[in-house]
Amino acid sequence: MTVHPSLQNYADAWSHSIEAIAELVQPLVEGEWNRRTPCPGWSVRDIVSHVIGLECEMLGDPRPIHTLPRDLYHVQSEISRYMEMQVDVRRHHTAPEMTSELEYTIIRRNRQLRNENRAPDAMVRAPLGTQQTLEQAMRTRAFDIWVHEQDLRTTLSRPGNLDSGGALVTRDVLLEALPKVVAKDAGAPPNTAIVFDVNGPVEFLRTVRVDADGRGRIDGSPSLGPAVTLTMDWETYFRLACGRVRAAAVPDRIKTDGDADLAAAILREFAVTQ
């Protein structure tokens, strides 16, 4: 691939995860495509449809003209309605149709990336008729594809790639959201520090510090007197942050020290995407 050097890690992470998805679904029989995944409201087929649809949008393909059913309980916002369009239009596609379209889409996207010569700050298409930089688009695709790879691995009992390039991109994306989760959403008091100690295939220790004005910032330095310390494994961390599980369902995988009420508030607000 010949993308800008600053984009190469996103391209590599994307390629690794989307090839893993193709390998995971290739042998599935028709009924397995309907299996429910941790992604709210979506089956295996739905996740692959979403992947195909957004990669086609990266290629500049027109969006489908389609009317969504009214009874989709998980469609509760404008962005979820936007995402659902590419999914629902493929809900009656057969397994061979799905794998063929996925394979062809990957071929097209790889060709696009091999010929990509735009700068990272070039503006490209984004959801809901907006625009974003090429760097943001590629970062988001690497993040999204890795999370959905993990959805499929959980559903199909095929664990793996928890420490891949996509996992590291996901870590960085989710960490950027932590100051808002702690300071604004959970309402941590001014002049407090919250420590997140994550272990496993991806390990890190981060502190969110809330200043006197109630603004949060994150750094890698430990705090000598944190209001709360949350300790968990990497898989639990990203599943919570991606809305795949609630803290109440995995209490044995989360250790909290300090202010119990504040810890509970942070865990309630932990999901930053679905």
Structural domain range at position 177: 167-268
Clarify whether residues 190 and 140 are in a common domain. Answer: no
- pLDDT for 67 equals 87
First-last CA distance in the chain: 30
Four-CA torsion 60, 65, 68, 69, nearest 10 degrees: -150
pLDDT band for position 143 (50/70/90)?
Answer: very high
Clarify whether residues 190 and 216 are in a common domain. Answer: yes
HSE-CB at 269 with a 13 A cutoff on CA atoms is 17
Q: What is the CATH number of the domain that holds 225?
A: 3.30.1050.10
Angle (CA) 203-209-215 rounded to 5° is: 130
CB 200 within 8 Å of CB 162: yes
Clarify whether residues 52 and 30 are in a common domain. Answer: yes
Q: Is 2 helix (H, G, I), strand (E, B) or coil?
A: coil
List pLDDT tens digits, range 124-133.
Answer: 999 998 999 9
pTM for the model stands at 0.96
Q: Which of 148 and 74 is assigned the larger pLDDT?
A: 148
% of the chain residues with pLDDT over 70: 99
Residue 233 forms beta bridges with which residues? 199
Q: Once rounded to an integer, what is the mean pLDDT over residues 92-97?
A: 97
List pLDDT tens digits, range 27-61.
Answer: 999 999 999 999 999 999 999 999 999 999 999 99
Q: Closest Cα to residue 87, out of 128, 109, 54, 58?
A: 54
- pLDDT for 1 equals 52
Q: What is the CATH number of the domain that holds 63?
A: 1.20.120.450
Q: What is the domain count for the chain?
A: 2
Q: Which two tokens stand for residue 255?
A: 């250790």
Which amino acid is located at 223 in the chain? S
